[in-house]
Structure 1
Amino acid sequence: MHLNIRAEKENTYDAIVVGSGISGGWAAKELCEKGLKTLVLERGRNVEHIKDYTTAMKAPWEFPHRLSGTLEQKENYPIQSQCYAFDESSQQYWVNDKENPYNQVKPFNWLRGYHVGGRSLMWGRQVYRWSDIDFGANAKDGFGVDWPIRYKDIESWYDYVETYIGISGQAEGLPQLPDGKFMKAMEMNCLEKHVAARIKERYDDRIMTIGRVAHVTEKHNDRGPCQYRNLCHRGCPFTGYFSSNGVTLPAAAKTGNMTLRPDSIVLEVIYDDQKGKATGVKILDAHTMQTVEYYADIIFLNASTLGTASILLNSVSNRFPNGFGNDSEQVGHNLMDHHYGVGAGGEFEGFQDQYYSSGRRPNGIYIPRFRNISTATTQKDYVRGFGYQGGGERGRGVSFDGVGASLKESLSEPGNWSFGIGSWGEHLPYYENKVTLNKDKKDKYGLPTLDIDCEFKENELAMRKDMAASAKEMLEAAGLKNVGTYDSMPPPGHCIHEMGTARMGRDPKTSVLNGWNQVHAAKNVFITDGACMTSSACQNPSITYMALTARACDYAVKELKKGNL
């Protein structure tokens, strides 16, 4: 009896954070800095900042296969290897698909990294605030449920996280894309400046700006500046871009309040019927295969949209027979991702006397949403909207004349300029797009796998036609030649912006979380990763996860001190 009491005491913290990625790192930092002894659980291996970025400084010829794809990669990473950020230099940050199975009821690319820092090491780093157009969309057109918050509720938290992590960008004064706290913007090249000017001349409802990106363009809190290497997916030894490993987890560790436990697979949230709240979590040690229970007053679930959904569904008790917090039967449902892989590209005949002056800029351009934001821009074929990312470049010459020195010389001549844009579109929240536990198909740990049943529907397909047509129209208006469109139609998941499986809402009957990211039926459990999202907008979502996390942590600690948790 005494041994059990002692073990429970040793395993008790003020707070537990499940997951160490973009939102989990922020939860760790905020809770630790507010004085809470915090246990951070990560299911994957440890990755130490700088020390474990073993490929960051290597040249292409230093890799056995010169960064080319291999048969081993195709066999063991058939899903992960489809990602733009996957290659021989970053393979160590992506899961082995054979060892981490899931079940595609409909095609779905689940792109994952199981390690400390999660996908914050490999993310695209584009950061765009949401506006009231986005937070009010569900209420306006009737899809999904109304968000319990609006832009004003998290505006100051956007300010807070942007100031801390360092955002490079240009203020534009657009209602559909609120400006942020920006460092010096990265510079467009000559063709991008030309296209931006032509779009401004031709259209009064749209602009092109430089991408807003989580890179520090000047020294910031002993970080950076960004070196314009564009090798970010290997991990940045200069801490030029934001990652949990380089920024928030070190801040949490600095307080002395963080205990980081990698290789800890969270099995379930523990609910105490008598206390009427969650008391901790049960984990499986990935090495010893032993289960361990940890206890805390506050629990933050930040295991990623599908990881959090899996934990909730697997947390069955007398109070929650269908999964933790699942009174509304919404857990696992309303799965969304952005649909992309559609756009246009063309050639430009000018600027033959100009080339790059900015190295390998890790950023592109952005054309913010311009559809369905006013009466004048309302579309009859679809609701919501899309934005574009892309850029201009000058390739090398296409001549392959000669051999040896003469061949090298012919290849050293620059080719013509080209410009391309691709679109990111909003995916509506459909109840039938869902994940469920498959208890018949187990993973290597003997745990249920996920069945993923998700698709793009009529609204998204109608939007894609406009995404391609508008891209072509803009590029031709900008003077590009031989403009062609494309639509590769990657499946959901491939954009790596999955969200929505434990949505926020005003009514406990139709949502999982309230306006503070608390589980309606268990106020000491907070979810601030992509699972909490009630709609998807069309902007990259990570900065919104960060703002919601910082806000929820502030609220949680205040509520804890009041004795309400």
Structure 2
Amino acid sequence: MHLNIKAEKGNTYDAIVVGSGISGGWAAKELCEKGLKTLVLERGRNVEHVKDYTTAMMNPWEFRHRLQFTNEMKENYPIQSRCYAFDEATQQFWVNDKENPYNEVKPFNWLRGYQVGGRSLMWGRQCYRWSDLDFEANAKDGHGVDWPIRYKDIAPWYDYVERFAGVSGQAEGLPQLPDGQFLPPMEMNCLEKHVAARIREKYNDRIITIGRIAHATKPMQNGRQCQYRDLCARGCPYTGYFSSNGVTLPAAAATGNLTLRPDSIVTEVIYDEQKGRATGVRVLDAHTLQTVEYYANIIFLNGSTLGTAFILLNSVSNRFPNGLGNDSEQVGHNLMDHHYGVGASGEFDGFEDQYYNAGRRPNGIYIPRFRNVNAATRQKDYVRGFGYQGGAGRGRAGSSEGVGAAYKEAQLVPGKWGMSVGAWGEHLPYYENKVTLNKDKKDKYGLPTLDIDCAFRDNELAMRKDMQQSAIEMLEATGLKNVHGYDDMPPPGHCIHEMGTARMGKDPGTSVLNKWNQVHAVKNVFITDGACMTSSACQNPSITYMALTARAADYAVKEGKKGNI
């Protein structure tokens, strides 16, 4: 339905941002602070900071099912419940799988949060910069297309977003993992410190450092500071970690330029063939099912990798019969996710007189990439590399089963120290890994669903062997006993780091976006969520989305003022 002229005027803004998650929140903040009247459209429900974190302060015994899975949860959340952060306390932040179907051409775990803030409420919060090792990889080994940017282009924007978001960490001086603007690092426990020291003794090409994480380890804006509760996925009433709800959206709202509209499913971008530009977006109201159009000069798509791919593919016109900006036939292709679920764990004899001295630290250790970093570390079986995350701790000596006073007493006796490390590996950009619209299978709104056809291939499988073996060797070399490797091989999507589908590039014939995250053929549309990524590296990607978003918003506003958009 098209709106009349009066309604069109009332529905016109300077900018529209689709999605309110990590990148959408940053787009909202930057555009609002630069003076643009900005409409943020979120397909899910409204979640108000603090007020709607209804389980954040609950004790385990206050939950009806003591945080265990119920048959109803298994039935309605068969995919979401596979996530480590899903339980009775957090299920309200995850989509109902039965109500949000998609089609697995090959196994793919699409883990989603449809609400204001998106997955910024439940994310793992690990923040690692990319380096030129990552930005140059495609050009050097021939996989995918060359990135149109290098580290120097994004480095000042990493600085900018880290200072505002609050990222704690330890500077290490590694070229493959650039240091950032860090708050004081969290502390490793005694076994982690011991293993880190032994790693430095045994190896000259790797280290263990504390995780770099978006937690305020000292007071920041509005006094926000991490309380070491480790209940982050429930939403943090102390704003201890970075989320759109707690940090960027309030900053946007403080300008008076923000309009937030939840329950608004963006179905397509409106393209004006005579003007050669996008004029707005078409929205389906999730409750009334009525269609509304909103208009703006600048449009940012931040609906997540697959959400943005859907919008582009569903935005068809005479100019773009196969989807908005899809001249290159790359929209929907080159889907990536990190492959993980492989590593090793072991036990340690010692430190029986010590326990944790860092409270419930919501963080672990990190072992930066050390394979294919230079000629000395080049591998013959695979390209690219991986990093490890993990940690050490003590279990309980007593059995996990029992009843009565003796059982309770046994639970107070600490068990042996142990440590586990798991690898996150790079997934190459394959054209064959793709999403397409399935117009025969509709969702409850009558919209097409996505067919997801994505797999890990020979390079990832070869890498996994090294990911497991190196983990075993390191733990054994540092004194752990009974070391066991594992490889659970979860399917793509499970790492929740999906990337690609609208990649950046230098050539409009082989990419969707330019170096400023602009759609090549539609200069007033920007994409800065995971869809824009040209390769996946092995680092958690969210801090890179933030930096790219701030950079693109700055460019969009400056070019808009010049009349170039």
Regarding TM over 0.5, the answer is yes
2:421, 2:494 → 1: CA distance?
18
Aligned to 2:131: 131
1:9, 1:399 → 2: CA distance?
68
Within 5 A, what are the aligned runs for 1:176-325?
A: 176-325=176-325
Matched residue SS, 1:321: coil
The answer (yes or no) to whether the contact 2:144–2:430 under 8 Å persists in 1 is yes
Shift of 1:406: 2.7
The answer (yes or no) to whether the contact 1:138–1:146 under 8 Å persists in 2 is yes
1:355, 1:103 → 2: CA distance?
47
The answer (yes or no) to whether the contact 2:144–2:535 under 8 Å persists in 1 is yes
- Counterpart AA for 1:103: N
> Is structure 2 residue 38 aligned with structure 1 residue 38?
yes
Shift of 1:398: 2.7
Deviations 1:257-306 (A, max 9, x none): 00000000001000001111000000000111100010000000000000
Aligned to 2:111: 111
2:421, 2:482 → 1: CA distance?
14
The answer (yes or no) to whether the contact 1:217–1:224 under 8 Å persists in 2 is no
Within 5 A, what are the aligned runs for 1:345-364?
A: 345-364=345-364
Distance 1:52 1:399, change over 3 A: closer
The answer (yes or no) to whether the contact 2:529–2:545 under 8 Å persists in 1 is yes
Within 5 A, what are the aligned runs for 1:32-111?
A: 32-111=32-111
Within 5 A, what are the aligned runs for 1:131-170?
A: 131-170=131-170
Matched residue SS, 2:462: helix
- Counterpart AA for 1:196: A
Matched residue SS, 2:515: coil
Deviations 1:349-392 (A, max 9, x none): 01010001111100000000000010000000000000000000
> Is structure 2 residue 529 aligned with structure 1 residue 529?
yes
Aligned to 1:480: 480
Aligned to 1:13: 13
Distance 1:400 1:453, change over 3 A: closer
2:91, 2:122 → 1: CA distance?
11
2:400, 2:22 → 1: CA distance?
45
| Greater shift in the superposed pair: 395-404 or 135-144 | 395-404
Shift of 1:401: 10
Deviations 1:222-275 (A, max 9, x none): 142101100000000000000000000000001000000000000100000111
Matched residue SS, 1:340: coil
2:281, 2:265 → 1: CA distance?
10
Matched residue SS, 1:423: strand
Deviations 1:503-524 (A, max 9, x none): 0000000000000000000000
Matched residue SS, 2:145: coil
Aligned to 1:471: 471
- Counterpart AA for 1:49: H
The answer (yes or no) to whether the contact 1:199–1:208 under 8 Å persists in 2 is yes
- Counterpart AA for 2:106: K
Distance 1:402 1:534, change over 3 A: closer
TM-score of the pair, normalised by structure 1: 0.99
Within 5 A, what are the aligned runs for 1:392-541?
A: 392-399=392-399, 404-541=404-541
- Counterpart AA for 2:371: R
Matched residue SS, 1:339: coil
Aligned to 1:387: 387
Matched residue SS, 1:96: coil
The answer (yes or no) to whether the contact 1:267–1:284 under 8 Å persists in 2 is yes
Deviations 1:387-434 (A, max 9, x none): 000000011113579963232222211110000000000000000000
- Counterpart AA for 2:62: E
Distance 1:135 1:402, change over 3 A: closer
1:499, 1:410 → 2: CA distance?
46
The answer (yes or no) to whether the contact 2:397–2:415 under 8 Å persists in 1 is yes
The answer (yes or no) to whether the contact 1:389–1:422 under 8 Å persists in 2 is yes
- Counterpart AA for 1:560: G
- Counterpart AA for 1:11: N
Shift of 1:132: 0.2
Runs (5+) with no aligned partner, structure 1: none
2:102, 2:557 → 1: CA distance?
36
% of aligned pairs identical?
Answer: 82
1:182, 1:344 → 2: CA distance?
29
The answer (yes or no) to whether the contact 1:216–1:223 under 8 Å persists in 2 is no
Matched residue SS, 1:376: helix
- Counterpart AA for 1:162: E
Matched residue SS, 1:266: strand
2:533, 2:422 → 1: CA distance?
24
Aligned residues: 564
The answer (yes or no) to whether the contact 1:400–1:410 under 8 Å persists in 2 is no
Matched residue SS, 1:359: coil
| Greater shift in the superposed pair: 215-224 or 454-463 | 215-224
2:322, 2:285 → 1: CA distance?
25
Shift of 1:333: 0.1
2:222, 2:400 → 1: CA distance?
46
The answer (yes or no) to whether the contact 2:67–2:89 under 8 Å persists in 1 is yes
The answer (yes or no) to whether the contact 1:333–1:434 under 8 Å persists in 2 is yes
> Is structure 2 residue 332 aligned with structure 1 residue 332?
yes
Distance 1:484 1:276, change over 3 A: same
The answer (yes or no) to whether the contact 1:18–1:41 under 8 Å persists in 2 is yes
2:51, 2:345 → 1: CA distance?
40
Deviations 1:161-186 (A, max 9, x none): 00001111000000000000001100
Runs (5+) with no aligned partner, structure 2: none
Deviations 1:480-538 (A, max 9, x none): 00000000000000000000000000000000000000000000000000000000000
- Counterpart AA for 1:98: K
The answer (yes or no) to whether the contact 2:398–2:407 under 8 Å persists in 1 is no
1:537, 1:9 → 2: CA distance?
44
Aligned to 1:371: 371
- Counterpart AA for 2:345: G
1:109, 1:206 → 2: CA distance?
32
The answer (yes or no) to whether the contact 1:223–1:240 under 8 Å persists in 2 is no
1:144, 1:57 → 2: CA distance?
46
- Counterpart AA for 2:159: D
- Counterpart AA for 1:125: R
The answer (yes or no) to whether the contact 2:95–2:113 under 8 Å persists in 1 is yes
1:429, 1:217 → 2: CA distance?
36
Matched residue SS, 1:213: coil
- Counterpart AA for 1:354: Q
- Counterpart AA for 1:315: S
2:404, 2:253 → 1: CA distance?
55
2:13, 2:224 → 1: CA distance?
34
